Amino acid sequence: MIWPIAVTLFGLVIGSFLNVCIYRIPRGESIIRPGSHCPFCLKPIKPYDNIPLLSYFFLGGRCRYCKARISPRYPLVEITSAIFALAVLYRFGPGLRFIVYYTFISALLVITFIDIDHKMIPNTITIGGIIAGLALNPLLPVTLKESLLGLILGSGTLLMVIYGYFFITGRQGMGGGDVKLLGMIGVFTGWHGVVFTLLISSLIGSITGIVWIMLTNKGMKAAIPFGPFLSLGAVIYMFWGQYLINAYMGFMNAG
């Protein structure tokens, strides 16, 4: 019983740190210094006002000093981080694999919100993730060869899509950050994870894009970042990928 409680608290604390990364990394700010402060009045946040999840509700979602509204995204990221921590614990158990997979998911969570806000994916996360994934390969359920193939296939596939789209339309439909993100996903999941992630993310992204276009009336010019869908596809593969693949193959063989 102690592990779920400890991991939940751990996930909340890390979620608070992820909020710092989401806000500061795209602005080119240090994620270490200065300490936590209100982005509006710049007043330092006291430790008792920086308790994950609880402080947001005790303060009514506002800064203690200037009363500026604090985005509800802060508790959302903290809760999501805690849920993922629990999910990784039950899927992979405690130990080094928990640290590796939870760190990977945390990186995807940061990428998702940065891409939504700024339409960019920081190289510090993707390139750092690629290097870390290759270094930690012995802890992953894929061989080094499969990781390298995942890196090449993931990056190469999206590069071909980008140049093909530009050749046909004369416009850039995807950024280089997506290329490196799928390469990073390939390092952690292997080439089979890349294929699954690309198919699932394209399906979910297409459905979301159609709904978004209908709701906003922006037509094909509506810009929707692809990074969050790639991240979601990778997470689905980590937890349910093999099950879904086996179910699909069983359905095809039965037919």
Q: Is 244 exposed, middle or buried (0-12, 13-18, 19+ CB in 10 A)?
A: middle
Looking at the predicted structure, is the pLDDT value of residue 54 above 90?
Answer: yes
Residue 167 pLDDT more than 70? no
> pLDDT: is 6 or 173 the higher one?
6
Instruction: Name the pLDDT band for 168 (thresholds 50, 70, 90).
Output: low
Tell me the pLDDT tens digit for each residue of 94-105. Answer: 999 999 999 999
Q: Which of 155-159, 168-172, 243-247 has the lowest mean pLDDT?
A: 168-172
The pLDDT score that the predictor gives to residue 242 is 83
Residue 238 CA to residue 231 CA, distance in Å, equals 11
| 220 has pLDDT over 60 | no
Can you say whether the dihedral through the CA atoms of 157, 158, 161, 166 is positive or negative? negative
**Reported confidence tier of residue 79, pLDDT bands at 50, 70, 90:** very high
136 pLDDT higher than 70:
yes
Question: Do residues 121 and 111 lie in contact, with contact meaning Cβ atoms separated by under 8 Å?
Answer: yes
Please give the Cα distance from 186 to 9 (Å, whole number).
30
More confident position, 254 or 231: 231
User: Over the chain, what is the mean pLDDT?
Assistant: 90
Residue 34 DSSP class? S
d(CA 185, CA 157): 13
Contact 196, 245 (CB under 8 A): yes
Q: Report residue 172's pLDDT band, with 50, 70 and 90 as the boundaries.
A: low
Backbone CA torsion sign across 76, 78, 79, 83: positive
pLDDT of residue 128: 96
Is residue 137 predicted with pLDDT exceeding 60? Answer: yes
CA distance 146 to 189: 8
Beta bridge partners of 69: 62
- Token pair belonging to 56: 């947001």
With H, G, I as helix, E, B as strand and everything else as coil, classify residue 60.
coil
Given a contact cutoff of 8 angstroms between Cβ atoms, the answer to whether 20 and 106 are in contact is no
User: What is the Cα–Cα distance from 104 to 88, expressed in whole angstroms?
Assistant: 11
Q: Cβ contacts of residue 174 below 8 Å, gap of 6+?
A: 158, 161, 162, 165, 226
pLDDT digits (tens, 9 = 90+) for 16-51: 999 999 999 999 999 988 888 888 898 999 999 999
Rounded average pLDDT over 114-130? 95
- Residue 8: how many CB atoms within 10 A of its CB? 17
Asked whether the whole model's pTM tops 0.85, one would answer yes
Place of tokens 């209908």: 214
Query: Across residues 124-129, what is the average pLDDT?
Result: 96
158: pLDDT strictly greater than 70:
yes
Question: Minimal CA–CA distance to 8: which of 62, 77, 84, 72?
Answer: 84
pLDDT at 169: 65
Confidence of residue 7 (pLDDT cuts 50, 70, 90): very high
Q: Average pLDDT in the 197-213 region?
A: 89
| C-alpha–C-alpha distance, residues 181 and 117, integer Å | 17
50, two tokens: 């920086």
pLDDT for residue 247: 81
